[in-house]
């Protein structure tokens, strides 16, 4: 029951914060940029990409007998470089369904954090908040910093998303430490 309560309360706090962060603060839009001529790019994608997937420019297949790492690195350096999720026929966009799934993911993550927090004993509320924040931040940072390192995500993306993760997990830690996992 404690994990359900922790998942529900923590998930709600996480979900609400993410909505505030994305919809009200709007700082995530600061690292997103439009392409110059979207219509031409859309036409080019539709004429060359036939199935949904993750696409890379330049593409490389390390298992191919023709793979040349130097040539690939040169193409990376001279550009353009792109990592794209492409759905040539569009992506079904049901906001209600996506928000529900986002909430359920938040609840699942908060349930897992509740389990970890339950393993700790005799921590003050501040220590519980710090524990949850650090566990959440480590998980988030592994993805955020990996994307920065390997895919060249912008520095602003890294800063905004790390701060966002720290805030969200601190809020979850506060709720879990105060109302769910008590000594």
Residue 38 CA to chain centroid, in angstroms? 25
The answer on pLDDT for 5 being more than 80 is yes
| pLDDT tens per residue, range 21-30 | 999 998 999 9
Spatial contact of 89 and 148, defined as CB atoms under 8 Å apart: no
pLDDT at 120: 85
Give me the phi and psi of 86, to 5 degrees please. Answer: -120, 130
Q: Identify which of 104, 136, 124 has the alpha carbon closest to the alpha carbon of residue 181.
A: 124
What is the residue-averaged pLDDT of the chain?
Answer: 92
| pLDDT tens per residue, range 54-105 | 999 999 888 888 899 999 999 999 999 999 999 999 888 899 999 999 999 9
| Residue at token pair 């914060």 | 17
* DSSP annotation of 179: I
Handedness of CA 157, 154, 136, 97 (dihedral sign): positive
Runs of H (alpha helix) within 20-94: 38-48, 69-78
Give SS3 for 165: helix
pLDDT at 183: 67
pLDDT at 91: 87
| pLDDT tens per residue, range 107-132 | 999 999 999 998 887 899 999 999 99
| pLDDT tens per residue, range 162-173 | 999 999 999 999
| Residue at token pair 């219509």 | 39
Q: How confident is the model at residue 140 (pLDDT cuts 50, 70, 90)?
A: very high
- For the chain, give every domain's residue range: 2-34+91-180
pLDDT at 21: 94
Segment 126-140 mean pLDDT: 94
**Pairwise CA distance, residues 21 & 183, whole Å:** 32
């Amino acid at each position: 029951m404690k994990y359900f309560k922790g998942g529900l309360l923590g998930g709600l706090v996480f979900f609400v914060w993410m909505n505030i962060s994305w919809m009200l603060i709007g700082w995530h839009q600061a690292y997103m940029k439009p392409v110059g001529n979207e219509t031409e790019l859309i036409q080019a994608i539709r004429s060359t990409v036939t199935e949904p997937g993750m696409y890379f420019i330049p593409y490389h297949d390390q298992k191919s007998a023709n793979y040349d790492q130097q040539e690939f690195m040169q193409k990376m350096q001279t550009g353009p470089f792109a990592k794209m999720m492409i759905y040539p026929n569009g992506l079904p966009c049901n906001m209600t369904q996506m928000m529900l799934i986002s909430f359920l993911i938040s609840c699942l993550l908060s349930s897992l954090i509740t389990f970890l927090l339950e393993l700790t004993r005799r921590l003050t509320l501040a220590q519980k908040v710090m524990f949850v924040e650090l566990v959440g931040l480590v998980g988030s940072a592994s993805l955020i910093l990996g994307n920065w390192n390997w895919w060249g995500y912008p520095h602003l993306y890294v800063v905004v998303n790390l701060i966002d993760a720290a805030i969200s997990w601190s809020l979850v830690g506060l709720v879990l430490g105060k109302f769910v996992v008590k000594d």
